[in-house]
Amino acid sequence: MPVPIVQHIIAEGIGNVPYVYTVLKTLPWLVALYLLKIYFGGASNTSERNMHSKVVMVTGGTSGIGQEVVRGLASRGAQIVLLTQHSLNDPFLVDYIEDLRTSTSNELITAERVDLESLHSIRTFATKWIDNAPPRRLDMVILCANTLTPRGSKIQVTTDEVELNWGLNHLANFHLLSILSPALRAQPPDRDVRIIFSTCSSYMGGQLPDFPATTAAPEKSSATNGSVTKPPRAAKPTKQPKAQAPPVTEPATTFSTSQAYATSKLALTTFALSFQKHLSSYHRPDKQQPNTRVILVDPGWTRTPGMRRYLTWGSLTGLFLYLIMYPFWWFVLKSPQQGAQSFLFAAMEAAFGRGEGGWLIKEVREVTFARADVMDESVQRQLWEYSEGMVQEAEKRGAVKMALAKKEEEEREKDEKARREREAKKEEAEKKAGSRRSRKAG
């Protein structure tokens, strides 16, 4: 067909081709839209690495960006351990893992049940993981789990009564890595161990809570004495009030979902850099250099379930508006596969297998931090101590709640047992009475 058109243009002139001027006017706009779509889609990862035999622990790996990260690493031969809140016999999880194994031709995909909204659940899993001799292999931890409270919503809390954004985006990762720290530091020196955090540029607008006053006192790194919950160069705090969950105690009218999310990401970024110092200051018994490196990844705005929930305000009206505007969101937001590119780059780029760690990756390249206070050792130390105290208080509340729930369950079982006994006695009495009437009638 193009040949006759070209012949017609040569013979009759371009002006005689139907709709030619309309096409010529529209074509630049289509090209511009195509180029903009490529721009909004972000950069693509070109790094490759042999992932066979690598053990990768992933949170948030069943949806959104995490799902595409898992798929990308599993297709390259990595052994995946999914941390999920779903029950291990949940039909969704079973089908998801089976489909993933089939599509990636990788049978080494398993799951562990961990509810990141429960510090007790995190401790139960993490202590079980490290309670192994020799230490279990762990090449990579990818923290993709994330939550974003819809705009206009009231404060939501975790099982331990901590504000949801702070509890899941920061405190859960703090608690998990604090316990897993010995397993990370015990990996052989020839192993390239990476911890990849999911952050967001919104951290620039976050504001950390007011920390209790402390007095700085230099001391040796706590990593050398086996402590897993103290950062390097930790100061001895003065007597201070117990840490409380930040936004939970504020009135609902003052709660800002965007501010809560930004604060949680700021805390996570600050903790990640502090955790790198904690790992780097550890003196290995074999006198080798530490081999665990922290990498932060900003995937950009992506069409994930969390983003969709935020844009729809968690309501049917918002969902209707989202569907109407879907062509716009499809155009300006990345797909989950595009959002996963920086994570795959952080996992496979050879340059990150050496160096001091603490890099920030965005659009498949290293960028600098927009806020200098995230690298402030004093702020890092105060946040670590604050988070540690909050975990202790939250676990105490959780223990009390579980004890009360267990007591109530025992009382219910006791009442149910007494009721069954009464019914059994009543039935037995009715049978005896019936048998006497039967004998009299006979």
Domain count, the chain: 1
- How confident is the model over 12-51, as pLDDT tens digits? 666 666 666 777 788 888 888 888 888 888 889 999 998 9
Q: What value does the CA radius of gyration of the chain take, rounded to a whole number of Å?
A: 29
Q: CATH number of the domain that 218 lies in?
A: 3.40.50.720
- How confident is the model over 116-175, as pLDDT tens digits? 999 999 999 999 999 887 889 999 999 999 998 888 788 888 988 899 999 999 999 999
The predicted structure's pLDDT at residue 40? 85
Burial letters 242-258, b for 16+ CB under 10 A, else e: ebebbbbeeeeeebebe
Sign of CA dihedral 208, 211, 216, 219: negative
Domain that holds residue 118: 45-299+334-396
Q: What angle do CA 153, 157, 162 make, to 5 degrees?
A: 130
Q: Is residue 162 part of a domain?
A: yes
Q: Is residue 207 part of a domain?
A: yes
Q: Is residue 282 part of a domain?
A: yes
CB 280 within 8 A of CB 185: no
In 3D, which of 92, 66, 243 has the Cα closest to residue 167?
A: 243
- How confident is the model over 188-216, as pLDDT tens digits? 988 999 999 999 999 999 899 887 654 34
CB 245 within 8 A of CB 390: yes
Q: Is residue 140 part of a domain?
A: yes
The predicted structure's pLDDT at residue 233? 44
Tell me the pTM: 0.80
Q: Is residue 23 part of a domain?
A: no
Instruction: Give Cα 420 distance to the centre of its chain.
Output: 46
Q: Which residues of the chain have pLDDT under 70?
A: 1-20, 212-254, 434-442
CB 325 within 8 A of CB 317: no
Residue tagged active-site, from 54, 265, 277, 334: 265
265 flagged as catalytic: yes
Q: Is residue 206 part of a domain?
A: yes
In 3D, which of 271, 268, 265, 267 has the Cα closest to residue 232?
A: 271
CB 74 within 8 A of CB 100: yes
Separation CA 93–CA 84 (nearest Å): 9
Q: Is residue 416 part of a domain?
A: no
Q: Is residue 229 part of a domain?
A: yes
The predicted structure's pLDDT at residue 424? 81
CB 79 within 8 A of CB 55: yes
The predicted structure's pLDDT at residue 19? 66
